[in-house]
Structures are given as C-alpha cells and as structure tokens.
Amino acid sequence: MQIQETRALITGGSEGIGRAIAAALAAKGAQVGIMGRHAETVNKAADELKVTAFIGDVGHEDDAIRVVKEFVEKMGGIDILVNNAGIGGGAELVDLDLETFETVFRTNVTGAMLMGREAARHFIKQDSGHLINISSTSGLRGGKGSTAYSGSKFALRGMTECWRAELRPHNVRVMLVNPSEVQTGFFAKLGRNQETSDKKLRPEEIASAIVGALEIDDRGFIPEFSVFATNPF
C-alpha cells in the first residue's frame, strides 16, 4: 500500500513502540491519531509528533467505541489500526492475584478486541483495511512468572488468527508482530531495571519493520513476524 494520506490510529501511541510507529507513519505522510489514557501525556506526544490526540482506555467499551467514531469523523475514515496498547505484570502462579491477572487481560486482550471490532466494522464497509496487533515473543513461549502477560499475548495471537480468517474476504490484512526485548519504559513501570545496550532493539526497529510490511502491494501481506536483536549480548 501507499502509506501517504492513509489514516492510522495507534493505541498506546504516546510512548515506546507506539510512539515510534506513529512517528514513522507520519513521516510517510499518513494522517495519524494516537490514543492513550492519560490526557497530559497523550496531548504532549501529539504536539511533539504533530499528530492528533485521542483520550480513552482501550479496555473500556464506551471509550473504544467513542474514540474510533471520533477518529473516523475527524479523519474521514480509517485505513490502519495498530493495537499497541499493552501492560505487563504478574507473578508465579501460586502468588498471582486475580486483580492483576484481570487488569492485564483487560488491556492486552479485551482492549485489542474492542478496538479491533470497531475498526473492522469500518474496514468491512469500505472493503479494505490493515489491522496490526503488537504482541511479543512472550506470546510464542511462556516463562516463569509470566502467566498474566504471556497468557494475554498467547490469547492475542489466537484472536489474530480468527480475525484474519474472518476479514480476508473483505480485503483486510491482519498482521501480528512479535518484538523481542525492546528498550522502552516498559520494565520501569513494572519496577524492574532494564540494562541498556547499543546492541538491543529500539522502538524504531519495530516501527521500521511495520512500515516495510505495510508497503507491500495490497495483493499480499505478511501474516506474522518476529523481530529479534541480531546479537544483544
């Protein structure tokens, strides 16, 4: 597709991978909207990126419905949805509390479903669209203490496969992206340190891969891909 003048909505777009995707698509000439829960943070990022801010929580149905509606009204339609909003958290099974588990799933799974559903209704009407779910290599292989996060990413992968089967007849391309460790503020929010390195992935690498996948002619698409650092050690 030609990205120029397409209309793209990125959830969790004020920081990290989402912000890098927003910047990359805007640089290609797309009309970009970023969505997030915290008005001050989202508005600041939108001003810096010269994109449009939309305030809402993907895990709240009313917010998901409202933001997609507002985006479509403001931009005149929607061509790309990037389901990037996601949170971490969890513990080993015997210590995992229900509130944490449900909170992670509400954003990472329910939120993706709600936003995907609203965007897909427009994609079907216009017989075109691109729906990109940002997962993780944790959705390919679980690990100790990751029941909530890995479980949510495995669920997202399963939903992606269902949506792909449903939406391909409507010329909608549904892609899943599995980044390995990326240097963002993700770990800090969990109270964990992340050792920085010139060898580890940055958000820009993920954004560049997504741009490349989108720019394939619309007769084809990449259903799923992972992005690893070449040699992070």
What does the domain layout of the chain look like in residue ranges? 7-227
Q: What is the mean pLDDT of the chain?
A: 96
Helix axis angle, 39-49 relative to 16-27, nearest 10°?
A: 30
Active-site residue, selected from the candidate residues 71, 105, 123, 149: 149
- The alpha helices in 94-185, defined as continuous H runs, are 98-105, 112-126, 147-167
pLDDT value for 188: 63
For residue range 158-196, what is the model confidence (pLDDT) as tens digits? 999 999 999 999 999 999 999 999 998 776 666 667 688
The count of residues in the chain is: 233
Report yes or no: 187 and 208 within 8 Å, Cβ to Cβ.
Answer: no
pTM of the full structure: 0.95
Take residue 19 and report the two structure tokens written for it.
């912000």
Mean pLDDT to the nearest integer, 189-206: 85
Phi, psi angles (nearest 5°) of residue 111: -60, -45
Interval 115-156: pLDDT, tens: 999 999 999 999 999 999 999 999 999 999 999 999 999 999
Scored b (16 or more CB within 10 A) or e, 118-143 reads: bbbebbbeeebbbbbbbbbbbbeeee
Q: Is the pLDDT of residue 78 over 90?
A: yes
Look at residue 90 in the predicted model and tell me its pLDDT: 85
Determine how many CB atoms are found less than 10 A away from the CB of residue 160. Answer: 24
User: What pLDDT, on the 0 to 100 scale, is given for residue 20?
Assistant: 98
CATH superfamily membership of 7-227: NAD(P)-binding Rossmann-like Domain (3.40.50.720)
**22 falls in which pLDDT band (50, 70, 90)?**
very high
Q: What is the mean pLDDT of residues 43-60?
A: 98
DSSP-derived pairing of the beta strands 7-11 and 80-83: parallel
Closest CA to 114 of 35, 175, 24: 35
Would the pLDDT of 209 be above 80?
yes
Catalytic, 188? Answer: no
